Amino acid sequence: MIQHRIVLASAAGLVCAFLLAACGSMNGDASGTSAAGVAPVTSAPATSAPAASAPATSAPAGGAASASGQTASTTTVRVEAVKGGGGVVTDGTGATLYRYDKDRPNPSRWTCAGACVKTWIPVIVSGAVQTVGVDKSLLGTVHRDGRKQLTLGGWPLYRYAGDTGAGQLNGQGKGGQWYAVTPAGGKARVTG
C-alpha cells in the first residue's frame, strides 16, 4: 500500500515537473515569479525555518500523493483573486491553501494529525518553493514526521480534500477553525 502511494507520488511529481517546465519555457522570465528554496530545519518539530533562494520547478498538489513521501521537487505558491474581494494563496494547480486555528505560528507548530490529515492534507515540501505574489521571506517549514511542512507567516499550510478543482473554497470556515490563507499568513475573509 505504501509502495503504491510512493509510486503514485513519484509519477505525479514527474508529470507536474514536465508540465511546469513546458509552461516555464513558454513564459520565460516575464512571469514575474521569484524563487525561494526551503532551508533545512534542524531544530525540534515545533520550530520553523525561513525559506532561502534556490532554483524552482513544481510539486504535485494531489491528496494521497502529497500525504505520502515524494521525491525532491518544487512547490509553487501564488496569490489568486477570489469572488468577494481579496486574494488567497493557492498551489501551482490552483488548489486553495488553508491554515488551522489550533496550529501555532510562533514558533510554528502543527496539531492536525491522525484522521485529520486525511481531510486536511499537509503541504509537504522537499525542494525549492516558487512564489507569485507571496513574499518569500514569509515562507518557512516545520518538521512533520521526518518531512517538512510548508509554513506561511509561521502557519502550517494544508490542502482540503473537499476541494476537487482549482479555485474552490469548500474548506473555508470549516468547524470555525479552517480558513483559506492570505498572502501574509492571515485568515481570508471570504465565503466559499
Report whether pLDDT(139) > 90: yes
| Residue 89 lies inside a defined structural domain of this protein | yes
| Residue 189 lies inside a defined structural domain of this protein | no
How many domains, the chain? 1
| CB contact at 8 A, 56 and 92 | no
* Range of 22-36, 61-75, 156-170 with top mean pLDDT: 156-170
- pLDDT tens, residue by residue, 87-138: 999 999 999 999 999 999 999 999 999 999 999 999 999 989 999 999 999 9
| Residue 190 lies inside a defined structural domain of this protein | no
| Residue 186 lies inside a defined structural domain of this protein | no
Instruction: Name the residue range of residue 65's domain.
Output: 2-180
User: DSSP label at 25?
Assistant: H
| Residue 192 lies inside a defined structural domain of this protein | no
Closest CA to 159 of 104, 83, 85, 77: 77
Reading phi first (left if > 0) and then psi (alpha if -120 to 50, else beta), residue 177 is in: alpha
Report whether pLDDT(56) > 90: no
Phi, psi at 127, each rounded to 5°: -155, -145
| Residue 191 lies inside a defined structural domain of this protein | no
Bridge partners, 80 (sequence order): 88
| Residue 112 lies inside a defined structural domain of this protein | yes
Distance separating alpha carbons of residues 183 and 90, to the nearest angstrom: 10
Reading phi first (left if > 0) and then psi (alpha if -120 to 50, else beta), residue 92 is in: alpha
Residue with cell 490542502: 159
| Residue 102 lies inside a defined structural domain of this protein | yes
Average pLDDT, the chain: 73
85 pLDDT tier (thresholds 50, 70, 90):
low
Q: What is the pLDDT of residue 41?
A: 33
| H or E segment to which residue 155 belongs | strand 155-156
pTM over 0.95: no
β-pairing, 75-81 vs 128-132, is parallel
Distance separating alpha carbons of residues 115 and 74, to the nearest angstrom: 27
Distance separating alpha carbons of residues 108 and 121, to the nearest angstrom: 17
